[in-house]
Structure 1
Amino acid sequence: MSGTERKNITRGLSVSIVLKQDQKSGKLTEGIVKDILTSAPKHTHGIKVRLESGAVGRVKVIKN
């Protein structure tokens, strides 16, 4: 599944995101989706979410 499409992301889903300050290095942060912040159905860089930890970033990997 692609992290660039909003329909693939739901609350409670385990994902890896890239934080704003980690965009150059590509370092990923893992967590559970608390809120979906992007309202558009698609975003080329990934849908922006807030994790339960409070971290905000764009979804790069959707875990099962």
Structure 2
Amino acid sequence: MSDGTKRSNVKIGQLVHIVQKHHQRTGELTEGLVKRILTKSPNHPHGIKVMLDSGEVGRVKEIIPEDYD
């Protein structure tokens, strides 16, 4: 799985796992499609912040490959 700390790895429409702000303690992941990339810098140590199609916002923990079942 690709690294979610590099902005260049994150693409709109990609399937990702994010951790939302209120789930940072538990590390609970939310799966969804990237709608918007919110982080402006090329890298972020905690993951690139994105908004999913569902409207949820969080930092990318892992990028799910397209051929992943």
Deviation at 1:49, TM superposition (A): 0.1
Deviation at 1:18, TM superposition (A): 0.1
Aligned length: 64
Which TM-score applies when normalising by structure 2? 0.92
Aligned to 2:47: 46
Structure 2: runs of 5 or more not aligned:
none
Deviation at 1:14, TM superposition (A): 0.2
Structure 1 residue runs of 4 or more that deviate by more than 6 Å after TM superposition:
none
Structure 1: runs of 5 or more not aligned:
none
Task: Supply the RMSD in Å over aligned alpha carbons.
Answer: 0.3
Deviations 1:22-43, CA, capped at 9 Å, x for gaps: 0000000000000000000000
Aligned to 2:10: 9
Deviation at 1:58, TM superposition (A): 0.1
Aligned to 2:32: 31
Find the aligned partners of 1:61 and 1:7 in 2 and give their Cα distance: 13
